[in-house]
Structure 1
Amino acid sequence: MAEQNIKIPFAYRALFLYFEPFAALFGAVLLHFRPEIFLNTMSPVAKYAADNQVIYDQLSATYTLFAFNEAVVLRVTKDLRVWKALLVGILVCDAIHLYGSWAALGGDVFWDVRSWRAEDWANLGSLWGQGAFRVAFLAGIGLNEAIPVKRE
């Protein structure tokens, strides 16, 4: 099957190759060294428990994998199929993350942006905004026609 090479527009490259990997790496560091701050960002009632540090460290590892996939894997290919496959996976994660935020905050807060704290804007605003970019990319918005290239 032929690769689907394409020039990725600047807005997508800026978000997926720079901003998101940086944000994911920042989240990974925060999870490992200051999980109580991370927890407050997700829910104002969540409390840090030191005996759960293994969970924070494992989630930190997952965020590090996201950072690597976007910062490295997407940089080594222009194959549209690879980009779309990786971004679908992250979009699925976004959806589950949004569900978790809805469950933690409750529908009254989750759906009412007027009641969001600064932390909710950082969490939910980025999830919705970055998710919208992912959907736009997957829908082909702003992408030129892919150029099929035969494998050697």
Structure 2
Amino acid sequence: MTPPNIPLPYRFLFLYFEPLAALGGTLITLTDPSRYLLSLSPTATPLTYSPLTSPIYDQLSGHLLNFAWGQAVVLRTTSELKVWKAVLFGMFLCDLLHLWASARILGWAVFLNPGLWRWEEWVNFVMLYGPGMMRLGVVMEVGFGDGKRKGEGKDA
């Protein structure tokens, strides 16, 4: 039921790759939250994680599972481009908050200098910048060409 005018790179990313990645993140935050923390904070150590904070990681797991569900299920159930735009723009707003949080923990000097990133930052930022820009691309209909059905996406 996917709208036929959604270009293939968007469909592949949002219907297959990202839902699997989000499901993987869900499992990591549920089963090994200290590993998740270490991947996001260069100042964290294995002793930084406290079981007292486990509700935060459990809630984050729910957030990641919602991302997976929204993409793997919700986007597959609609033929409306405006629904795709609404879902993906909401996810883009979440991406912006994730980037802001990363800038806060790393400091702007590191955040803006890829030469100073650890491999964890490379993974995190590639998973935020790339898909985030592609989410914005769907919202702005970048790469959709002239093959759109008349009137689609104009009221979104």
Q: What is the TM-score when the length of structure 2 is the normalising length?
A: 0.88
Contact 1:28-1:61 within 8 A present in 2 as well? yes
| 2:12 paired with 1:27 | no
Instruction: Give the residue type in structure 2 aligned to 1:15.
Output: L
SS of equivalent residue, structure 1 residue 48: coil
Q: 1:33-62: per-residue Cα shift (whole Å, max 9, x none)? A: 011111111112132111111110011011
**Paired position in structure 1 for 2:61:** 60
2:93 aligns with: 92
Q: Distance in 1 between matches of 2:117 and 2:42?
A: 11
* Count of residues in correspondence between the two structures: 145
Question: Distance between the aligned counterparts of 1:28 and 1:121, measured in 2?
Answer: 19
| Post-superposition offset of 1:147 | 4.5
Instruction: Give the aligned partner of residue 13 of structure 1.
Output: 11
Contact persistence 1:80–1:146 (CA under 8 A): no
Whether contact under 8 Å (2:19, 2:67) holds in the other structure is: yes
Question: 1:58-96: CA deviations, max 9, x gaps?
Answer: 110111011001000001112100000000100000000
Amino acid at match of 1:134: R
Distance 2:41 2:150 in 1: 45
Q: Which amino acid aligns with 1:55?
A: I
**TM-score, scaled relative to structure 1:** 0.90
| CA distance in structure 1 between the aligned counterparts of 2:7 and 2:131, rounded to whole angstroms | 15
User: Aligned residue for 1:146?
Assistant: 149
Query: How many Å apart are 1:32 and its aligned residue?
Result: 0.6
Which segments of 5 or more consecutive residues in structure 2 lack a partner in the other structure?
none
CA contact (8 A) 1:35 1:56 kept: yes
Distance of 2:29 and 2:150 partners within structure 1 = 41
Contact 1:6 1:80 in 2 (8 A): no
User: SS of the residue aligned with 2:43?
Assistant: coil
Where does structure 1 lack aligned partners over 5 or more consecutive residues?
none
Shift of 1:146: 3.0
Give aligned-pair identity as a percent.
Answer: 42
RMSD of Structure 2 on Structure 1 (CA): 1.4
